[in-house]
Structure 1
Amino acid sequence: MPPKVVATDLDGTLLRQDGTVSDRTRRVLRRLDDAGVRVVFVTARPPRWLAELADVAGSHGTAICMNGAAVYDFATATMTDVRGFAVDALGALVADLRAAIPGVALAVERLDGPVYDPTFATEHPVPADLMRRYIEESLSPDPAHTVGKLLAVLDGVAPAEFFARVEATVGTRAVLAYSGAVGLAEMTAPSVTKAAALARWCESHDVAPQDVWAFGDMPNDLPMLGWAGRGVAVANAHPDVLAAADAVTASNVDDGVAAHLERLLP
């Protein structure tokens, strides 16, 4: 039976290495949309990096973003089902990270945009007019300032050691995820994952897990692939994802998601 919903990660899975969508993938997404199969993008990306994909979102127009912290609607550029950090809890977490890991640089992805520590280095473009300030100054109970993700980096320490130190510090106060950016620790509020957000969205649309096919490449996709009726890894996926998936398709460079779905279509 074909799925009712296709849930796919973006970077490293649906998108090519340069972040573009191939013509083949565009055609398959349009055909799925025409056939009534809902496609939901499920991504670590913040909402500010989603507008550029509006032309391939189809009439469904839905993305679960920030590793499950919110559901983004392409038509209105608004977010629902927001599951961010509580302000006091986040403040305590930030203080503990600074005390336990000297030199750590932090950033937050708020609903209204990012805030970076002055020392936070990122490979992604940062708007020239973006104010850099220590993130403690940006924490606010205003719903528009809700923090969906907390990010941490540390120069001069091996990624595995850094992740272990972050994990030991945050414990159960945050979900620590790895989405492929080397040395970047990404944290969401307790119990906030791609899988949890997708499950809520599907329940609200009367879709059972067995009617969902999910695609991914990184460890932060594992709970989602395990929850869905069919979990598919692209060939370039992390070894843990390849081992856990129900099936493996071609790499993102070779349009693996499109190749796996084409057989569903007339």
Structure 2
Amino acid sequence: MTAETLPRVVATDLDGTLLRSDGSVSPRTRSALRAAEDAGIEVVLVTARPPRWLGFLSDVVGGHGRVVCLGGAAVWDLATEQALEVCGFADDDAQALVADLREAVPGVALALERADGPTFDRGFRTPGDDAVDVDPVDRSTVVSRVESTLDGRSTAPVGKLLARAADAGPVSGGPATRPAALADAQIPAQEQFFARVRAVVGDRAQLAYSGAAGLAELLAPTVSKDAALARWCARLGVDARDVWAFGDMPNDLPMLRWAGRSFAVANAHPDVVAAVSDRTVSNDDDGVALVLEGALAG
């Protein structure tokens, strides 16, 4: 493969795609990413994760250290720990969504993710525990109800609104782990929960699913992984045809469809496998690294 056929940008999802099932980045993957950057390819990590779950990646993405995070709501610079770009809900819009979800989905627990930090309902936790269980956060981020923080005082828009079903199990996941996979027996309840949330929000938000059982992720109508990636590539002067994208879950589909070449890892959701131009081996077998190694060796 000649230099002319190499991508100018490689965009890869994290959980279930670049990261192994234990949340780690393998030595092989680290080496492949460094080799890609040495060849002049910019590697952009694209994830639904919030900025506070990205610090462990600071030595993975070479000199630039930029991540499209919060499902496309922000571009985060790992070196400076600052947002380079932020999109999302204005407080008034988020307030209206929260009020409607409270009324239509009894017992729903909510959380807000901004680039400068999260806010959690006290109910967004393991039952019987006083601490939010998604990761060890400052307890000052836990409030009685998140709407109490939607007062216009924050300069950062709400990048993501999370809704957790009342009968869902504990929210799992964190900086170095993938959210618990959805068991087959949970699928009907998940679909019913999603249908209720979708009916409430209508076209005021996009509903995303990244793999965690009983959890709906709401993004502003203009926010998506592909939109954020397209804006970033435009800054670089890179066209979609010169981008290779990797993913595993339905929330990766817009990015995969936008990119000139798209790859599903072997463990990907069936909808993803059906939509991509190419396939590779699983995340635990370093599927992204395998593709990059082959391209660079060609």
TM class, shorter-length = over 0.9
Pairing 1:148–2:152 present:
no
**Greater shift after overlay, 236-245 or 118-127?**
118-127
State the SS of the aligned residue for 1:103: coil
Question: Is the 8 Å Cα contact of residues 106 and 166 (structure 2) preserved in structure 1?
Answer: no
How far did residue 141 of structure 1 move? 2.6
Pairing 1:36–2:67 present:
no
The amino acid of 2:268's aligned partner reads A
The Cα RMSD (Å) is 1.3
CA distance in 2, matches of 1:56, 1:242: 26
CA distance in 1, matches of 2:133, 2:280: 29
Match of 1:56 among 54, 60, 67: 60
Q: For the structure 1 residues 153 and 85, does the alpha-carbon distance in structure 2 shift closer, same or farther, using more than 3 Å as the test?
A: same
**Greater shift after overlay, 208-217 or 54-63?**
54-63
Q: For the structure 1 residues 59 and 153, does the alpha-carbon distance in structure 2 shift closer, same or farther, using more than 3 Å as the test?
A: same
Pairing 1:111–2:115 present:
yes
Partner of 1:245: 276
Question: Is the 8 Å Cα contact of residues 118 and 141 (structure 2) preserved in structure 1?
Answer: no
Partner of 2:134: 124
**Greater shift after overlay, 97-106 or 130-139?**
130-139
Partner of 1:166: 197
Alignment of 1:1-266 (within 5 A): 1-121=5-125, 124-127=134-137, 129-133=139-143, 134-156=145-167, 158-266=189-297
Q: For the structure 1 residues 264 and 142, does the alpha-carbon distance in structure 2 shift closer, same or farther, using more than 3 Å as the test?
A: farther
The amino acid of 1:241's aligned partner reads V
CA distance in 2, matches of 1:261, 1:51: 24
**Greater shift after overlay, 173-182 or 118-127?**
118-127
Runs of 5+ consecutive residues of structure 1 not aligned to the other structure? none
State the SS of the aligned residue for 1:58: coil
State the SS of the aligned residue for 1:264: helix
CA distance in 1, matches of 2:142, 2:23: 26
In the superposition, the TM-score normalised over structure 1's length comes to: 0.96
| CA displacement, residues 183-216 of structure 1 (integer Å, 9 cap, x when unaligned) | 1100111120000000111111100000000000
Identity percentage of aligned residues: 59
Runs of 5+ consecutive residues of structure 2 not aligned to the other structure? 126-131, 169-188
**Greater shift after overlay, 214-223 or 128-137?**
128-137
In the superposition, the TM-score normalised over structure 2's length comes to: 0.86
**Greater shift after overlay, 126-135 or 5-14?**
126-135
State the SS of the aligned residue for 1:94: helix
